[in-house]
């Protein structure tokens, strides 16, 4: 069974940093592209960042570009999101997500339970 | 970043067929496949349709997807109370170089 377990969320002041982690199990982690997708309270889904299997292809949504950095450690079956210069509008539930069918397909078959990030003074 | 366009709400009675639309552009739906997600209250999204019209294992055949040009649709036949959820379309966007989601459609079963 595929499992994605996020951690690292919490309450943080504007301008500070936070690092999210996601530990994967139940599949060959190093075979799949991985993503972070967020959902602000009561709002829709927003793509944050993607990384392919060997970290050779990385992308960011416009709202986080230059502030967030995605990375992965295949030896540890782990995905990370370093979030710097946090803003109130970054407040959201952050999901770790696994690619289902092809890198540029936007098909995601496994989602974690999410980790909540609240940016507030 | 812009979003794919979905109606904010839809409704139907048990047994009916409901269709949810998703409109995009040539840089996403027009050139890429479409995916649909169902999000039940307080849960993570679930993949319903991928490659515009395929269902992952375990998804009932009451759910079907189609695509034409820069638009796509999700049809739910034999509507059931447990189908009450938020539905999102998504497609890769070549300009964004990443996935683009629709704004979501809240389906109410009357």
The candidate with the shortest Cα–Cα distance to B41, out of A39, A20, A109, A4, is A39
The candidate with the shortest Cα–Cα distance to B104, out of B22, B28, B41, B48, is B22
Q: Provide the pLDDT confidence category of residue B88 given band limits of 50, 70 and 90.
A: very high
For residues A14-30, average pLDDT = 97
For residues B82-89, average pLDDT = 98
Give the percent of chain B with pLDDT over 90. Answer: 96
Contact of A106 with chain B, judged by CB distance below 8 Å, is answered with: yes
B82 exposed, middle or buried (CB, 10 Å; 0-12, 13-18, 19+)? Answer: exposed
- Report pLDDT digits (tens) over A43-101: 999 999 999 999 999 999 999 999 999 999 999 999 999 999 999 999 999 999 999 98
Give the percent of chain B with pLDDT over 70. Answer: 98
DSSP state of A36: E
- Report pLDDT digits (tens) over B48-59: 999 999 999 999
Question: What tokens does A52 get?
Answer: 């392919």
List the single residue in B33, B45, B86 with the smallest CB-CB distance to A105: B33
- Give the pLDDT of residue B23: 98
Contact A45 B101 (CB under 8 A): yes
For residues A102-107, average pLDDT = 86
- Give the pLDDT of residue A102: 82
Mutate to test the interface with A, among B42, B99, B100 (most CBs of A within 10 A): B99
Tally of CA atoms within 13 A in the half-sphere of A46 that contains its CB: 21
List the single residue in B39, B50, B104 with the smallest CB-CB distance to A100: B50
Contact B99 A100 (CB under 8 A): no
Asked if residue B1 has pLDDT above 80, the reply is: no
Q: What is the mean pLDDT of chain A?
A: 96
- Give the pLDDT of residue B77: 97
The candidate with the shortest Cα–Cα distance to B38, out of B70, B85, B75, is B85
């Amino acid at each position: 069974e595929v499992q994605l377990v996020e951690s690292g969320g919490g309450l943080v002041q504007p301008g500070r940093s936070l690092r999210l982690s996601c530990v994967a199990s139940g599949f060959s982690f190093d075979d799949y592209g991985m993503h972070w997708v967020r959902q602000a309270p009561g709002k829709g889904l927003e793509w944050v960042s993607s990384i392919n299997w060997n970290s050779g292809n990385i992308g960011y949504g416009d709202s986080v570009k230059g502030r967030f950095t995605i990375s992965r450690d295949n030896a540890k079956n782990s995905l990370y999101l370093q979030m710097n210069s946090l803003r109130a509008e970054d407040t959201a539930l952050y999901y770790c997500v696994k690619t289902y069918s092809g890198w540029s397909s936007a098909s995601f078959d496994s989602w974690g339970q999410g980790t909540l990030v609240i940016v507030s003074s | 970043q812009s979003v794919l366009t979905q109606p904010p709400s839809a409704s139907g009675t048990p047994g009916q067929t409901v269709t949810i639309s998703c409109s995009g552009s040539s840089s996403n739906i027009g050139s890429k496949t479409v995916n649909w997600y169902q999000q039940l209250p307080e849960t993570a999204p679930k993949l319903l349709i991928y490659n515009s019209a395929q269902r992952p294992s375990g998804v009932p055949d009451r759910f079907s997807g189609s695509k034409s040009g820069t638009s796509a649709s999700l049809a739910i036949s034999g509507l059931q109370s447990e189908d009450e959820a938020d539905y999102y379309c998504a497609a890769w966007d070549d300009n964004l170089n990443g996935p683009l989601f629709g704004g979501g459609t809240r389906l109410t079963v009357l």
